Structure 1
Amino acid sequence: MSVSRDQLHRFSKQSCEAIDLVEDLGVRGDAHAGTLVQHRSRVRRDPNQPNLRQVHLIQGALLDEARDAGHDIGPGSLGENILTSGVDLLALPEGTRLHLGGASVRLTGLRNPCRQIDEHSRGLLKVVVRRVDGVASDSDVELGPTGGVQSVDGVGIVRRAGVMAVVERSGTVRPGDAIEVELPPQPHTPLTPV
């Protein structure tokens, strides 16, 4: 649906006509590109970790849901590089390859939503996380010691803020490019926060 990048470490990214994915690095011209971890909170913990969060993908339906809940949000607002349609990203297993626009990425895990989402738009964190049991809650989302979401009302959550990937084959990605899904061999491992 759209592609975005930003050279600076800001929460949101700027929509653009195309992004270049570079093997083993990420999105050319994006602050999160690199072989080693680039997310500031993770760099503070250990700057020598491999970068498993080179590319951030989100389903367009999440933005629709956020707008329906009253949030002024659009492509790139949640810091995603690629906004998709027609693929249930959250249901895919770890190691799934997505082929798009001549490039290929491998899914490494889920984005763990953090307080920055609520700083961007108050109450948005409740849209991107849900109790695992499906029960609606008016309670605040509970953050863990590293700032990521752990639970709501002491109940585990479903993280819906997108998936993270590494670039395995360089190429250019544009809005409207088809996405081909290549599942890894069985047994499949569900995505977990990365």
Structure 2
Amino acid sequence: MAVGEIIGINISERRGTQKKEISEVDLVKGFGLENDAHGGNWHRQVSLLSFEKITEFNERGARVGNGAFGENIIVSGVDLRQLPVGSQIRIGQAELVVTQIGKECHKHCQIYARVGDCIMPREGIFAVVVVAGHIKKGDKLEVV
């Protein structure tokens, strides 16, 4: 079982706006992060990205902050990209199931326009909430 740590939690109150960092949130079954504009009854309720991948990207001169890629949860210690669809993730009492690895980027984001690359389409993963729970920065994330 792989174990990581939650480094950041980000939400946006409206679609099309940058996510802002928060210290804790409720994960709502069948929805995603409470008050996040991208939550809902669909297969990409929660987006996750590895802290190490963000760090590597920034070391190439990008200088992007938490939430800039649209990620909800930043995790250290687990290479999320290696998890297959169907993987179960537990954070405290909450449980997620991975539904998608990466995503197609139909139009390039501001990061791509500025730097010429974006890691979310190939490194980000998406999940649905199957068991509700409260999470906070510093919590352990376990791949079951």
Quickly name the TM-score band, shorter chain normalised.
0.7 to 0.9
- Residue of structure 2 in register with 1:15 after alignment: 21
Q: Distance in 2 between matches of 1:85 and 1:58?
A: 9
Provide TM-score, normalisation by structure 1. Answer: 0.65
Determine helix, strand or coil for the equivalent of 1:32. coil
Give CA-to-partner distance per residue, 1:39-92, whole Å, 9 cap, x none.
Answer: xxxxxxxxxxxx100000000012112211111211111111100011111111
**Contact 2:88–2:97 (CA under 8 A) maintained in structure 1:** yes
Tell me the residue number matched to 2:131. Answer: 169
Amino-acid identity (%):
31
Which residue of the other structure, out of 1, 12, 15, is the alignment partner of 1:6? 12
Distance 1:86 1:120 in 2: 24
For residue 25 of structure 1, report the CA deviation from its aligned partner: 0.9
Higher relative contact order (CA 8 A, sep 6+): 2
Partner of residue 77, structure 2: 86
Structure showing the higher strand proportion among its residues: 2
**Contact 1:5–1:19, Cα closer than 8 Å, also in 2:** no
Matches of 1:64 and 1:168, distance apart in 2: 30
Give the corresponding residue for 1:67: 58
Q: Distance in 2 between matches of 1:125 and 1:91?
A: 24
Count of equivalent residues: 137
TM-score by length of 2: 0.86
Gapped runs of 5+ residues in structure 2?
A: 1-6
Counterpart mapping for 1:1-194 below 5 A: 1-10=7-16, 12-35=18-41, 51-114=42-105, 115-117=107-109, 119-122=110-113, 124=115, 126-128=117-119, 159-160=122-123, 162-182=124-144
Considering only CA atoms, is the larger Rg found in Structure 1 or Structure 2? 1
Q: CA RMSD in A?
A: 1.8
Structure 1 moving runs of 4+ over 4 Å: none
Name the SS of the counterpart of 2:57 in structure 1: helix
Q: For each residue in 1:89-114, what CA deviation from the matched residue of structure 2 results, as whole angstroms up to 9, or x when unmatched?
A: 11111111100132111000123152
SS of the residue aligned with 2:52? Answer: helix
Structure 1 unaligned residues grouped into runs of 5+? 36-50, 130-148, 150-158, 183-194
Judging changes above 3 Å, is the alpha-carbon distance between structure 1 residues 127 and 121 closer, same or farther for their aligned structure 2 residues? closer
